[in-house]
Amino acid sequence: MTDFPLRLYDYAASCNCYKVRLLLAQLGLVYDRVAVDIFNGETLTASYAQINPQRTTPVLRVAEGKYLPESNAIVLYLAAGTELLPTDPFELAQVVRWMIFEQTDVIPMIGGLRFRLLTGRLKPTDADAARRRDGGLEVLALLEDHLRAHEFMVAGRYTVADIAIYGYTHLAGDAGFDLSAYPALEAWLARVKQQSRYIEDVKPYGANAALGAGRSIYG
């Protein structure tokens, strides 16, 4: 990795950003943190589009003029060559498999429901909340089955697959999911918390995250 100072463009309430902060802490990497208030229109500027045309956080600046968006891409980049990323091709592919599952299932069903409920975009009784809740229950059941048979997501040890799945799952209770119904998942959450240099610094959504209060790609 370069000795150019890493810089993280970061929104403190985002679990996508938290996954990267957790890994940076666990790898003991020093970095500059640039707060991006996504509900203050700060991802909608022309200068932010130069950094990330998708206008999302997190983004990692890895060298002058070299920017990497997408939380899991950043996590893979930072973990390369460390014990947190398996090199065996099958295990590595399993890490990627869980990262894809996180983006396609965990985030919309658990993270997306949590965000919309906490910021007033959905009421628990809305049809879209029910759809996401049903999807979230399927996600949690699948993870429970996997974790009944595996101590960690991949390779029998703590890897970035655990970080990816942990990011939004550990706050599923905020979206109304009862995690006590998933004992293997709860035991795994506790194992993740015991890993060295673990941090949990996810901030609550600010008042400007409420529907209609700020300006973001979410409206």
Per CB under 6 A, residues contacting ligand GSH are 11, 14, 16, 38, 43, 55-58, 70-72, 103, 216-218
Of 86 and 167, which has the nearer Cβ to ligand GSH?
167
What lies within 8 Å, CB to CB, of 55 at 6+ separation is: 43, 44, 48, 49, 217
Of 54 and 88, which has the nearer Cβ to ligand GSH?
54
Which candidate, 118, 142, 101, places its Cα nearest to that of 14?
118
Give dist(CA 52, CA 35) in Å, integer. 15
Q: How many helices (H) and strands (E) does the chain have?
A: 8, 4
Q: Give, for 6, the enclosing helix (H) or strand (E).
A: strand 6-10
CB 164 within 8 A of CB 72: yes
Closest approach of ligand GSH to the CB of residue 183, in Å: 28
Give dist(CA 198, CA 174) in Å, integer. 21
Closest approach of ligand GSH to the CB of residue 148, in Å: 27
Of 58 and 86, which has the nearer Cβ to ligand GSH?
58
Of 39 and 188, which has the nearer Cβ to ligand GSH?
39
Of 135 and 144, which has the nearer Cβ to ligand GSH?
135
DSSP 205: P
CB 58 within 8 A of CB 8: yes
Of 182 and 202, which has the nearer Cβ to ligand GSH?
202
Closest approach of ligand GSH to the CB of residue 8, in Å: 12
Closest approach of ligand GSH to the CB of residue 109, in Å: 15
Closest approach of ligand GSH to the CB of residue 25, in Å: 18
The CA-CA-CA angle for residues 121, 126, 129, to 5°, reads 75
